[in-house]
Chain A
C-alpha cells in the first residue's frame, strides 16, 4: 500500500505540471535561488502568487518559468527557509537569497561534542527549551524535566524541600550502577550523582536525599537536551548507558543590556492527610486489643482505658480515675501539629547583553523554601556567570561558572527502621496516640510514650542540617584554524562540599539513651576535566557534507569524607558544636579516593543531499575503577537517517511538512561503581585486649574478594525512529528501541558462611525494550487565540535475561531490618516483588485445625490463631516458610505519560500540565511499621474498620483481630504493596502579559500557578510519587515514611528592563 502510494506521487506531480503548461503564456523568466551562505538551493519552489503555477529549482538552484499575464508576485519557498515574495516587473531574471527559518526543525540541537540542526539528528534526542523549563516554577533543573519527555522518567524521592530526584531514561540497565544519566553542563561532564552524595548521618538513619544539581538555577538554563539512544550517547562511552542530559546555560545576546527580574512567591501545603484513629476510637482499639489477649491467652492485664477508678501502684489505699473511651473525643491529630502552610520565595535577577566582541550574562538567585513539616527548610544562593569573548578573528574564549551555596534543614523522614522508636517524624505523627495532648496538663511537659518519640519534639529539637557549596566551571578557548577546521579546548573544574550537622538531644529517643548524640560529617569532591577537540566541517559540491569531531579527554576526580561523632554530653546546649565535650568519643572515620578516566573519541557525520544522513562514532575509554586486566574498552555506534520529506515525491506536499526515518545501533557502558571496587581490602576490626584497644585487621566483609577482571557493563541498543510533521502544525515522534545490557556489575551474594557478604562480579544481562510517542503541535492558531499541545507516552519493558553462572534468583538489599522483597530472577524485571499470598482469615477453630500445620498444635496455639491471617501454603509442606513466597508485585510502570496544554488569548495565557504513571506498585512500609494491630501504635481508620472481629461477619475483613501480643508474624504480603498508579495535575497556570506601556519596562508578566493541584490515585499513603532509595534501580518505589508531597500556590512576576 505504502509502496503504491509512493509510486503514485511523481505521476500526480506530472499531471499538475502538465496542467500548468496548458494555461501557460509565452513570457519566460529565469533565476537562481541561494541560501544565506551563498549555496545554491536545489528543489526550492517558485510559485506565482494566487495562481496554480509553480516550478522548482534544479541542482544548481536554477529555475525557469513561463509567466501568465496576470502574474504579479513570485513566492519563493524552501523547507526550513523563510518564504520570500518578489514583485514581478519587466525583468526576466529574478534571483533570490532565502534566510533560514527559525522553526523547530532548524533549531540547533546540542549533541555530545557539537551541535546539529534538529532536522539533521540521526539519533533519539529530545530537547526542552527555556520557556518550557520554567513554566512550572521548578526550583531545580530536573524537576523541570518531569513528565515532559517521553521515556525520561523523573521521580521525586520525596516531598522535602531541596530533596533529590531520581531519573531513569528508558528503564533500568543495572543492578548496581544506578539509573542516573550523565549530566553534561556547557560541555563539561558533571561527575556526580544528582541525588546521592550526602554526608554520613548518625546511625546511617537518614535516607533523605539532597539534590546535587541544585547549583543550577532553572532560570539560567537555555535548553536541556536528553540523549536517549545509544547512537547519541555512545560518544560518552562508558558513561552513556543511562542516557545523557546536556544542559546549556543562557548566554547574553547581542544588543542592549537587558535586565530581567523574576519573582516567585508560593505557599505549600500537604495535599493529603492520612485518616488515623481519633482518641475515642484509639482507646476502644487498645481496650479491645488487651481484652482479646486476656481472653485468648489467659493474661490478666488491666485495660489501658478502663473508664473507672484504679489503684495507684505502690500506694495501696489510693485510687485515681483512669479515663475510658467515652472520656475522649477527637483527641490530637498529630499530623495537624507537625504540618504547616509554608512559604517559598524565589528571586532571580539577571543582567545580560553583548556586542560583536562578545557577550555576557550574570545572574543571582535566592531561594528560600520552607517545608510543610515544622522546622524543615531549604535555602539556596546562586551566582551564574556566562562570558564569551572574541579575540581577533580566529579565537574565542568563554566561561560558564556557577557558584551555589545551599542549606537544608531537615527533619528525620524516610528511615529503614521498622519497629523502632526512632523511625522518623512522619511515622511518629501517624502512630503517636491521639489520646495524648501535646503537653501533659498536669506537668506542662511534652507528652511521651516509650514506643515512638513525640512528633512535635522530633521536629522541634533535632538538628539535622546539610550545608553545601558547589562550584561548577566550564571554560573554553576555540581557535578557527582554517575555514573548515576548528580546535577547541575545554577545561572544567568542579568542586562540591557538603557538611552535615546533626544532634539528637535527650528529648528524643536517639539522644535519650546516650545523653545526647552529635555529629559533624562531611564529604567533598573535586574534579578536573580537560577536553581537546578538533572539528572539521566541509561541504563538497553541494551534495556532500561531512562533519568530523575528534578529540581526547582526561578527567580526574578526587574525594574524601570524614565523620566525627560523640555521645554523652553534659547538657544539650552546645549541640554538636563541641564534640570534645562528649564523654563518649565515637571513633572517627574518614575515607579518601580518586579515579581517572582517559578517553579518545571520533565521530563523523555525513549528509548526502540533505536526504541521507550517516553518523558513526567510536570512543575508547580507560577507567581506573576497573580490574587491572580490563581497564580499556571501545564503544562504537552507527546511525542512519533518511529525510524522506526532501525526496522529490514529497516536494510541495502541504500535508507532510516533515518526514524522517532513523535507525541506529550503539554500544555504551556504565561505570557506576566506586573507586577500588576491583581490589580486596583489609578493614580495621579492633578489639579490647589487656584493657586497651588493640588493632585488628581482616578482609573487609563488605567489599568482598579481589576481581582483576572487573569491567564495564555494556549496553548494546537498537533504535528506530520516525519524525513526522503535518501541515507545519503537528509533529509526531515515534521511537522503538531494544537494548541489552551484558556483564552486569553486581554484587553476587556470597553465602554468609563464606566470610564475605558479597563479591563484585560482571555477570548477568538485562533487556529493556520500549515504545515512545511524542506529539507536539498547534491545533489552533488565530491572531488572538492559540492552543499548543505537547504530549508524550512511553512504554518500557524490563527483563532479566540472566544472572550469570547458575544463579537462578537473588534478592536485592533489605529495605528494612528484616525485609528483602525485591527479587531478581531470570525472566522477570528488576523491581519484581516477592512475598507471601494471603488467603483470608482463620474464622474458627475447625478452620485452624483443618490446616495441616495446626492439626497437631496445642490448644493454646490453635486458639490464638483464630482471627489471624491465613497465608497460602504454596509448597504443600505444612507451615509457612520462605518456600511459600511467590511474585506479588512489580514496581515498574506499564507506561508513563505527560500532557501539556497551553492556551493563549490575547495577553492572557493558561497552561495545564498533567503527568501520570500507570501500573506500578509502591511498597508502603508505613503499614509494616504500624499494621500489626497488636501494639500501642495508632492505626488507620481503615485498619480498624477492617479488623477481624469475633462473632461478626468477617467476610470483608482486611486485617487480623486486634490483639496485644508479641507472637504474630506478619509475612510480607500484598498487604504492604499498593497500586502506585497516579495521574497528577502537576501544574495549572494563568498568566497575563501586561501590555507594554510602562516606562523602562520592556516586558512584564504576572502569573498564578498551582502545582500538584490534584492527584488521582488509589494509593493510600501520602503520595504515590515516592522513592525512598533514590536512584538505586534495585529498590525502586518504596515509601519509607518519606516526606509528604505538597501542593504549592505560586504568584510569579517576571519583568524585563
Chain B
C-alpha cells in the first residue's frame, strides 16, 4: 500500500511540474491587439478598418440606403422590392437594425484609433500622419453620429471604446447633444486633415479637409432647416401640382437657433467654395463615367473594385439593364421625371435610360422605351429597332448613374456610390444664404444657376421670394440628387415628409406612400433595448 502511495505521489509530482507552458495558447490565424498600434503603418491600418465598415451589409451594400433611398416621393420601383421600407414598413425588411450597428461599429473603431494612435512613439509616426489619421477618425465618428441623429434622433453618445470604458449601459442623449458632438468632431477633423490636393492627405477615397468642411456645412444646414418655422411648397400629390405646407419643427430641434445654424452653414460652404478645391464636371454624363470616379466634383465616394469583394448591388437594382433581375427594381416616378425640363435638362436626357432591352439573360429580350409620351422620339432607334411601352406599367424612368460598371452581367458590380458631390455645396450655399438674408441674393442665384447650367437647364426664375426660392432649391436638390439618398433626408429636415408622402397616398406602380408618425425615425434595435439598460424607451410608434 505504501508503495502505491509513493508511486502516485511521484507521478503527481511529475504531473504538476508538467509545463505551464503547455497551456499557453499560441495564436496562428489572428493578431492580438497587444502587439499592435506601434507604428505609423499600424495607425493607417487601424483607420482603414473604420472605412471598411462602410462597405458591409450594415451600411452601403444595402440596408443603409435601402431604408431611406427607397422611401421618398420621387422614387418608384418593383413592388417586390419597394414593398418593405419603400412602402413605409421598414420593420419587415431584414436590414432594419443594420445601420445602427454599422454606424456604431464605425464609432467604436474610431474611438479605438483616437485612444491608441496618440500613444504611438513619435519616432514611429510622423506628426503629419498622426494628424491625418486622427482627423480621419474624428471625421468618421462625427459623420456616423450625424447619420445616427438623423435616422434615430437622440442616441447614446459613446466616446470611448468598450475596453477603455466597460460600461455598456449608456442612455440616449438629446438631439442637440448629439449635434454638439458631431460639430465638435467635424471641426477637429477639419483642423487635422489636409485638402485632397495636398499629398499628405493620403490615397483617394479617404476623407480630407474638404469633405470635413462640406459635411460641417451640411450639418449646420440640417440643424438650420430642422429648427426653422415657415412654409415651403413641394410639387407632388397624384396630380403633380405644387402644394404649400406649413413646415413642422423637427422633433428635438426646437432648442436650436435656425438662423445661427444657417449662417454657419453659409460661411462654411463659402469657405469651401473659395478654397477652389473642387469644380463641377462640364457635362452631367461625365459625372458618372468610370474614368471620372473620384474626379473633381466627387468629394467623397464609396469605393469599389471589380474582381474583388468590394462590389455591390447598385447596378442590379438601379439600372434598366439589370442582367441579374432582367430589369432594374428602382426608378424615378413619372411625376418626378416631369419635374425636369424634359427636352432640355441633361439630367433626364442623359440621366435617364430611354431605350433598353430587358430580360436578356433568360431570353432574346424585350425592347422598351421611356417615356410613353415621347413615342416619336424613342420608339425606334437609329438602327431601326422597335421599342415598346404600354403607357402604363412599362413607364419606368431608370437612371443611368450607376450603370457604367466593369461587368454589367453579374449581380454585384463595381458601381461607386456618391456620398457628397460639389454641386451639393453650391446648393447648400444657395439655401443658407436665402435663409440668412430672408431672401436670395445674387450669389445665391449664381451658385444655384451654376448647378442648373451644367445640366443645360434654364436659369432659375428671377425675383423669387424667400419661400419660393427655398422651395425651388429643395426641388433642385431633388433633381440634382435623384436616387442619391438625399431626398428623404431633405423632406425630413424640412419637416414635411409626412405631408408630402400622404399627399400621394398610393403612388406609381402601386407603391404605397402612406406614412405615419413612426416613419419619421427608425426603431432602435430590440437587441440594443434589451442589452443597454440605460435606454428606457424606443422611438415613437415602435
Which A residues have a C-beta under 8 Å from some C-beta of B?
293, 297-299, 301, 313-314, 418, 448, 485, 512-515, 532, 534, 536, 538, 548, 550-552, 554, 567-568, 583-587, 590-596, 598, 600, 602, 622-625, 628, 631, 675-676, 679-683, 685-701, 705-706, 748-757, 759, 806, 809-811, 817-818, 857-858, 860-861, 879, 881-882, 965-967, 969
Contacts and interface: CB of A to CB of B under 8 A. Distances in A.
B92 interface: yes
A356 B84 CA distance: 78
Contact of B162 (A538, A683, A690, A754): A754
Contacts of B89: 966-967, 969
B462 interface: no
Contact of A881 (B108, B311, B542): B542
B541 interface: yes
Contacts of A696: 45-52
Contact of B50 (A534, A598, A698, A858): A698
Interface in B178-232: 202-206
Contacts of A552: 11-12, 14-15, 18
Given A750-B531, A751-B156, A966-B80, 20 more contacts: A297-B506, A298-B506, A513-B412, A568-B407, A586-B309, A593-B29, A595-B25, A600-B16, A624-B22, A624-B25, A690-B202, A690-B205, A692-B305, A696-B51, A697-B36, A752-B527, A755-B162, A860-B506, A882-B538, A966-B92
A673 B63 CA distance: 32
Nearest to B111: A755
12 contacts: A418-B94, A532-B11, A548-B4, A681-B32, A681-B33, A750-B531, A752-B525, A753-B155, A754-B168, A755-B158, A811-B530, A879-B541
Given A688-B308, A858-B502, A755 B108 contact: yes
Contacts of A534: 4, 7-8, 11
Nearest to B24: A624
Contact of A705 (B53, B82, B162): B162
B355 to A, nearest CB: 13
Contact of A697 (B45, B394, B541): B45
Contact of A967 (B88, B310, B538): B88
A706 B33 CA distance: 10
Contacts of A699: 33, 108-109, 112, 161, 163
B30 A676 contact: yes
Contacts of A584: 307, 311, 410
B202 A689 contact: yes
B105 to A, nearest CB: 5
B32 A679 contact: yes
Nearest to A506: B361
Given A752-B101, A966-B79, A858 B514 contact: yes
Nearest to B113: A698
Given A687-B48, A967-B87, A591 B12 contact: no
Contacts of A881: 538, 542
Nearest to B101: A752
A619 B28 CA distance: 30
B25 A679 contact: yes
Contacts of A706: 163
A967 B83 contact: yes
B361 to A, nearest CB: 8
B23 A622 contact: yes
A685 to B, nearest CB: 4
Interface residues of B, number: 116
A631 B19 CA distance: 12
Contact of B100 (A586, A685, A752, A858): A752
Interface string B149-166: 000000110100111001
B146 interface: no
B4 A485 contact: yes
A861 B514 contact: yes
A680 B33 contact: yes
Given A966-B89, A967-B87, A313 B390 contact: yes
B303 A687 contact: yes
Given A966-B87, A969-B89, A313 B394 contact: yes
Given A676-B27, A705-B162, A753 B388 contact: no
B305 A536 contact: no
Contact of A882 (B15, B512, B526): B526
B33 A314 contact: no
Given A752-B100, A753-B170, A817-B94, A598 B52 contact: no
Contacts of B24: 624, 628
Contacts of A293: 510
A548 B156 CA distance: 61
A818 B54 CA distance: 22
Contacts of B506: 297-299, 860
B324 interface: yes
Interface centre among A301, A692, A697, A750 (most CB of B within 10 A): A697
Interface centre among A485, A682, A693, A881 (most CB of B within 10 A): A682
Interface centre among B36, B169, B410, B525 (most CB of A within 10 A): B410
Contacts, number: 293
B411 interface: yes
B444 to A, nearest CB: 36
Contacts of B156: 751, 753
Given A513-B411, A515-B409, A809 B107 contact: no
Contacts of A554: 18, 22
A293 B532 CA distance: 41
Contact of A752 (B3, B97, B308, B510): B97
A757 B526 CA distance: 13
B318 interface: no
A548 B11 CA distance: 14
Interface centre among B316, B510, B525 (most CB of A within 10 A): B510
Contacts of A514: 410-412
Which 8 pairs between the two chains have the least Cβ-Cβ distance? A755-B108, A966-B83, A690-B203, A698-B49, A696-B48, A685-B52, A513-B411, A696-B49
B419 interface: no
B162 A750 contact: yes
A967 B87 CA distance: 7
B505 interface: yes
Contacts of A682: 30-33, 36
A861 B88 CA distance: 12
Interface string B80-120: 10111001110110101100110011011101100000000
B300 to A, nearest CB: 12
Contacts of A418: 94
B366 interface: yes
Contacts of A548: 4, 8
Contacts of B361: 512
B533 interface: yes
Nearest to B509: A299
Nearest to B511: A966
Contact of A583 (B26, B316, B362, B407): B407
A567 B530 CA distance: 40
B516 interface: yes
Contacts of A538: 1
A854 to B, nearest CB: 11
A600 B15 contact: yes
A679 B4 contact: no
Contacts of A298: 506
Contact of B410 (A567, A688, A811, A969): A567
B107 A675 contact: no
A98 to B, nearest CB: 30
A700 to B, nearest CB: 7
Contacts of B316: 513
A602 B82 CA distance: 67
B28 A592 contact: yes
Interface in B24-76: 24-33, 36, 42, 45-55
Nearest to A853: B541
Given A596-B23, A882-B529, A691 B107 contact: no
B174 interface: no
